[in-house]
């Protein structure tokens, strides 16, 4: 089963839950796809998703 959870806050790509597994992460109620999470991994310890503006987190 595949259910839409919502869009990634960075790239607006749809993030799904597939068989109970979220294909992304959630931080402070914000959804982030795995691709964008990998792109901003270096900032992960110092900046939360909520601090990023939409579209800015894919620039790193």
The count of other CB atoms within 10 Å of the CB of residue 50 is: 10
Share of the chain above pLDDT 70, in %: 68
Whether the predicted pLDDT of 6 surpasses 80 = yes
Residue 49 has pLDDT above 70, yes or no: no
- How many CB atoms are closer than 10 A to CB 12? 11
Tokens of 23: 């294909």
Looking at the whole model, is its pTM more than 0.85? no
Residue 37's nearest CA partner among 25, 20, 54 is 25
Q: How far is Cα 4 from Cα 42, in angstroms, rounded to an integer?
A: 28
């Amino acid at each position: 089963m595949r259910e839409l959870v919502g869009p990634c806050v960075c790239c607006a790509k749809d993030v799904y839950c597939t068989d109970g597994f979220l294909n992304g992460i959630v931080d402070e109620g914000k959804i982030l796809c795995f691709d964008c999470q990998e792109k901003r991994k270096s900032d992960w310890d110092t900046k939360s998703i909520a601090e990023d503006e939409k579209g800015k987190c894919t620039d790193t």
